[in-house]
Amino acid sequence: WAEAAEAVKTYHDGLVARWKEEMDTLLVYAGLFSAVLTAFNVQSYQLLQPDPMDPTLAVLREISAQLSSFTVAPPFVNATRSFDSLNVSQPSFHAPGSAVWLNTLWFASLVCSLSSASIALFVKQWLHEATVQGTSRKSGRLRQYRLHGLLKWQVGAIVVALPILLQIAAVLFLVGLLVLLWTLHNTVAAITSALVAMLFAFFLIVTILPVWKADCPYRSP
């Protein structure tokens, strides 16, 4: 019994420790990535709103409206209507398509990043509750029971899915970055697009290569 209990404890503790380490790494990366992405989003969402009116332009528009309100109304030659009654039309604002796509991609990326971090916190709590100390018969049965629960309820699949969700967030951010750059400067956008394409090609190669080469070390859980 002692040998069996020790073997189960070693396997259980090693599995839980590995998952905890992965969650810690993911939380650090997700926190840094979300902070950087938030700084970009603070600037990008303003593209969906009309520019605030310049004070000088506002004064000139008011003067123009007052001048246009002059009318001939006997017995006064230069009577004016009340300025409040003027119907000064404001041009309608439509956000550019590139701004809509940019904010859609970046805010979706932020949601994915924050979601992965939030779920990782839940996973760490689950793993903490699954930890059992001791090698007695009671501890061994409880450890096996909780290990069975972790495997039955696919906690491992959730641990594997979280880095994928974070990678999706990174892809969305990079695509949005390219959308922004192509609206600003073609040369900068072309160079950045080439670098992003190289990164995507690397992702694709290291993902597919282990399928064809059994001895390839580029493996993910």
Does any domain span residue 210? Answer: no
Q: How far apart are CA 60 and CA 93, in angstroms?
A: 20
Does any domain span residue 197? Answer: no
Name the DSSP letter for residue 80: E
Residues 87 and 133 in one domain: no
Per-residue pLDDT tens digits for 146-179: 999 999 999 999 999 999 999 999 999 999 999 9
Would you say 177 and 195 are in contact if contact means Cβ atoms under 8 Å apart?
no
Which H/E stretch holds residue 77?
Answer: strand 76-80
Amino acid, single-letter form, for residue 126? W
Does any domain span residue 202? Answer: no
pLDDT above 70 (res 54): no
Q: Name the pLDDT band for 95 (thresholds 50, 70, 90).
A: confident
Per-residue pLDDT tens digits for 56-86: 655 666 666 665 655 555 554 454 544 444 4
Q: How far apart are CA 46 and CA 96, in angstroms?
A: 12
What is the predicted pLDDT for the residue at 33? Answer: 96
Q: How many domains does the chain have?
A: 2
Q: How far apart are CA 173 and CA 112, in angstroms?
A: 11
Does any domain span residue 195? Answer: no
Residues 115 and 168 in one domain: yes
Q: Name the pLDDT band for 50 (thresholds 50, 70, 90).
A: confident
Q: Backbone dihedral region of 134: left (phi > 0), alpha (psi from -120 to 50 degrees) or beta?
A: left
Q: Name the pLDDT band for 88 (thresholds 50, 70, 90).
A: very low
Would you say 132 and 12 are in contact if contact means Cβ atoms under 8 Å apart?
yes
Residue 73: which domain range?
Answer: 56-92
**Phi, psi at 146, each rounded to 5°:** -75, -35
pLDDT above 70 (res 111): yes
Distances (CA, A) of 64 to 7, 60, 70, 71, 76: 87, 6, 11, 14, 21
